[in-house]
Amino acid sequence: MNKNSSTYIIIYSVVMVVVVAAVLAIAAMTLQPIQNENIAVEKKGDVLASVGLKSDNIEADYAKYIKEVSVPTADGELPLFESNANGKKLYIVPVNGSGLWGPIWGYVAVEGDWSTISGVVFAHKGETPGLGAEIVAPSFTDQFIGKRLFEGGKLVGISVLKGAGASRGNDHAVDAISGGTITSRAVETMISTTLAQYLPYIEKQRNNE
């Protein structure tokens, strides 16, 4: 191979790298709005699911049953949702935290007393399949229904207890996922930490009730 051939190959390789990078960049820019829209629709579906609505038409049902409001705080505003699904007033609080391997998040729907949980939806980015990832499973989330966040006017959150049946008879606790205790307790922390930010607003609403 002579010098001119080597130079040609190098130039060709550089040009191809630039072309491929440009194509990938254009594809990413083109797909980004679609990805953002899909994420937004997924979030709306999770909000609906937290109040017991499994929708085939998420956009329409979200517009019909969910109202977006803001909670003013000293540091800005916090998102909050209200629902009139099934003729019942519910409040949905978005919660965020950190699991064992990455972010976890979800929605906690509470009844008008701001204490009784009506439903929850949780999600995660990278928890271990079959273990911490089970925070999304009904076997875990269904335990929260009917549990209470307050006791004697004080926010106590929901404790996650290790051991099958450990939470039996406890209005403020659920059983942890077997083998996924760390992620389960991350859910406990996530709920308490997030709700603490809403506490002044919640207390005001509860006093008005």
The reported pLDDT for the residue numbered 208 is: 77
pLDDT in tens, 135-147: 999 999 999 999 9
- Global pTM? 0.82
CB of 120 closer than 8 Å to CB of 142: no
Q: In 135-144, which positions are buried (b, 16+ CB within 10 angstroms) versus exposed (e)?
A: beeeebbebb
Give pLDDT < 70 ranges for the chain. Answer: 1-6, 8-9, 12, 21-22, 24-25, 27-28, 30-38, 209
- Domain limits, the chain: 49-208
Which of 157-185 are b and which e, b meaning 16 or more Cβ less than 10 Å from the residue's Cβ? bbbbbeeeeebeeeeebbbbbeebbbbbb
Q: What is the pLDDT of residue 93?
A: 97
